Structures are given as C-alpha cells and as structure tokens.
Chains A and B, each alone.
Chain A
Amino acid sequence: MPDPSKIRFLVVDDFSTMRRIVRNLLKELGYSQVEEAEDGAVALQKLKGGGFDFVVSDWNMPNMDGLQLLQAVRADPTLKHLPVLMITAEAKKENIIAAAQSGASGYIVKPFTAGTLNDKLVKIFEKLEQSPA
C-alpha cells in the first residue's frame, strides 16, 4: 500500500459541502493532498495539467457529468491509468452498470459512511498493486 500522504486526490462534485466532507474523510484516512473541482469540465482540465493520482467524482454535475468525465479520462492515453471512484446519489442499476462498463474503479452510493469510503479505497489500491505495470 503506497504512502497515503503522497497520493494526490482530485475530488469532483458540484456541491461544495460534499467536496468538503470527502476532503475531511480523506484527511482522516491519512490522505492529505486533496484538490477540488466543481464539474467534469474543470476536473478534466486540471487532470490534463498533470499531478494527480486518484479521482473521486460525483455523477450529476453541470457542464460535464461524472460519466462523461470518466469516459474522457479512460480515452486519454495520459490519464487512462488513473483510478476513478464514483460517489453519487444515482442509484439505478443502469447507472451502476454504465459506470462499470465505462471503466469506473469503484462505485459508492450516497449517503455513505467513512467505513465504506475506506473499504473502497483499500480495494482499489490492492487492485492497482496486483495489476501488471
């Protein structure tokens, strides 16, 4: 498991309250490097600028929604390796399937607990370590 304090997160959600909550939860889990974006378009721009290791994103956002962001990330050769964890209120099975098929690394449905967030993060890091370089 990599050093948590070295991992650079981008948290994407149009509600500042939610971004703040996720930031605080990540901090509690030892992940202190967190930046924010209020929609998919801003997020993609920041990601393309480089320097991020992990994306945590909402789905329902203006300008570019979470699914579109995910697809854009997976389509970009410099970004496709990034883990993308969806945290969203969208609870239709269609949504979950669409996210999985588009390459989401995990799916957390709101409201969620700190424990769930931790579990999914650990699971994603484990997978990253197992996958071939």
Chain B
Amino acid sequence: MAKPIKFDEFNDNEDLQALFDSIAAGSELPMHATKPPEPVIDASGDSDDLQALFDSIAAGSEVPMRATKPPEPVIAASGDSDDLQALFDSVSAQVEESKVAAPAAAGPGGSDDTSGVFSSLGQMTRELHDGLREIGHDEALGEAARRMPDARQRLSYIVKMTEQAASRALNAIEIAKPMQEAMQSKSEALGKRWGKVFANQISAEDFKVLAADTQAFLNDIPRQTRATNEQLTEIMMAQDFQDLTGQVIKKVVDLVQNLETQLLHVLFEAMPPDMNVEPPAGLLNGPVINADGRTDVVNSQRQVDDLLESLGF
C-alpha cells in the first residue's frame, strides 16, 4: 500500500522536498506512493490542507486536496515527468473551463471553492515553473528553495537555544531561592532573639548562646551569598543565546524575504483581478508582534480587564 509520510534530517517531508527540487531543477520528479496525509499539523508546521496540496501535486494525482491513488511514475528525459505534465495540463483545462463558465461567488468552504483554489494554484505553479525556466530565474529560486530545509534547521536551533537558556535560568533560580529563603528565616529568628535582649528578657546563659549562634550565622553568610552570586552569574551567562539566535534569525529573515520577493512577483502576475487577499481571521494567532494601528487587539492586562468589565464579566 502506501507508506507513511517520512521526514528527513531537516524535518522536511519527502514529498515537499520533491516538490522544491522539481521546481528548482526542472528535472524529473521523484515519485513516491503517498497516502492521504493525516489530519494534523506536521512537524514543519504546514497545515494539513497545504500538505495535501503539495502531496497531490507531487504524486501527480488529479484529485484536489485529498490525494487517493497516485499514478505510476514515468520519468521523461525532457525534464518534466509525464505525471507532472499531465497534472499541469489537467489543471490548465480546469482553469479554462472555469473561465468559460460563470465564475462562482467567492466564499469560505464549499468544494467548488477548494477545487477553484486548487486550479488557480496549480496554474500559478505551472506558470512559475515555466516562467522561471524561461527567464533563467529558476537558479535563484532553486537556491532559495534549497535553503528552506536549512531555514527549518536554523529555526529549530533557535528553539533549542532558547529552551536551554530558559532551563539554565530556571535551574539556577531553583537552587538560589531556597538559599535566600533559609537566610531570610534564620536572620528573622535571630533578630527576634536580639529583640528580647534589648527588652531585657533574656538570661545571661541564653545571651551567650545567642552570641555564638549569631557569630556562626555571620560567618556563614559569605558562603551563602557567594553561592547565590554564582547562580546569578549562571543566569547572566544563560542569556548568551540572544547573540547567537539573533544572528541566526537575521539569516532566516533574509532568506525568507528573498523567497517572498520572488514568489510575490509571480503571484501578482497570475492573480485574478478580483481575488480577495484578506488573511483568514481566526483565534490562533499567537502573541501580537506589532500592535501599531490595530484596533482589534489589546495591549495590556489592564485593557483585558476593562474589556471584560465592559461586557459584564
């Protein structure tokens, strides 16, 4: 039957890698027997719909969104595999048909829209493929595409570094805090006893004991504070990830910008004039990076509380 979707060392799905390679090199598309993707977000963060799209293009399947039966791979010498060629041809035919027929109203959901999107996307991919080859730009895009797994690796590195730093800091804190708390309670206890001394409530014998205890405590303080300082230094050192991750982030940003510029160029040329470019709304957006000019987000806990209060919660 079909084998499960595999990830190579860069966490790149084999089929996604195949897609990038084929766009880059314009060469034969390595074929795999793919099964329909599991309905989860894969390790690279691709939504299952995007993954399915790429899988179906890679497998040369004609079924949009959910590839069922991939055809036998035929590798042609010309550069495009027969299956890729057939896919593009069928997509072109679909696009022609939909242009002739009355255009469907744009709206969310519905199988008409998904096959329409698939057709448009397939068409754009084809135009990208051909256009890039014609203008010799496939080299540049290929290079960018080849660097995608590298980008993923870099981002994984960043996650790893920040996680390690957080762990180091938290460990140091968990060591230092009890020491501080112990010093605090010991000094409070001694302070109380000294209070009694000054209130004349303590015997001579007890006073001698108190003096000895106090001296012992004072002698031990340098050890405690030195240990705490060591932990503080450890926390400081754990911040060194910032420099390393900053450099790596910059590289990834450059890479992504480069790729985006090239793709946008083709995308805008191929985009139907009345296409809606609003990003999908949703409730899973993550932290707000830049709130400037936005009225749909809150900027502080205070605003959260005010909003809830205004609604009666």
Residues of A within 8 A of B (CB): 16-17, 20-21, 24, 59-60, 62, 65, 67, 89-98, 100, 107-110, 112, 116
Contacts and interface: CB of A to CB of B under 8 A. Distances in A.
A20 B298 contact: no
B286 A60 contact: yes
Contacts of B311: 97, 100
Interface stretch (B4-12, B52-60, B162-170, B208-216): B162-170
Given A60-B284, A67-B283, A100-B308, A91 B297 contact: yes
B167 A93 contact: no
Contact of A112 (B163, B286, B298, B301): B301
A42 to B, nearest CB: 15
Contacts, number: 68
A92 to B, nearest CB: 5
Contacts of B304: 91, 96, 107-109
B284 A90 contact: yes
A96 B301 contact: no
A93 B307 contact: yes
Interface in B258-313: 281, 283-288, 291, 296-301, 304, 307-308, 311, 313
A101 B131 CA distance: 51
A116 B305 CA distance: 11
A96 B287 contact: no
Nearest to A16: B163
A107 B163 contact: no
Contacts of A116: 301
A90 B286 contact: yes
Interface in B185-206: none
Interface SS majority for chain B:
loop
A92 B285 contact: yes
A17 B281 CA distance: 29
B175 interface: no
Nearest to B171: A20
Nearest to B294: A92
Contact of A91 (B163, B173, B174, B288): B288
A69 to B, nearest CB: 13
Contacts of B299: 91
A108 B307 contact: no
19 contacts: A24-B174, A59-B284, A67-B283, A90-B283, A90-B286, A91-B304, A92-B288, A93-B298, A94-B283, A95-B283, A96-B298, A97-B307, A100-B313, A107-B304, A109-B300, A109-B301, A109-B304, A110-B287, A116-B301
A92 B297 contact: yes
B283 A91 contact: no
A21 B170 contact: yes
A107 B304 CA distance: 7
Interface in B134-183: 163, 166-167, 170, 173-174
A96 B307 contact: yes
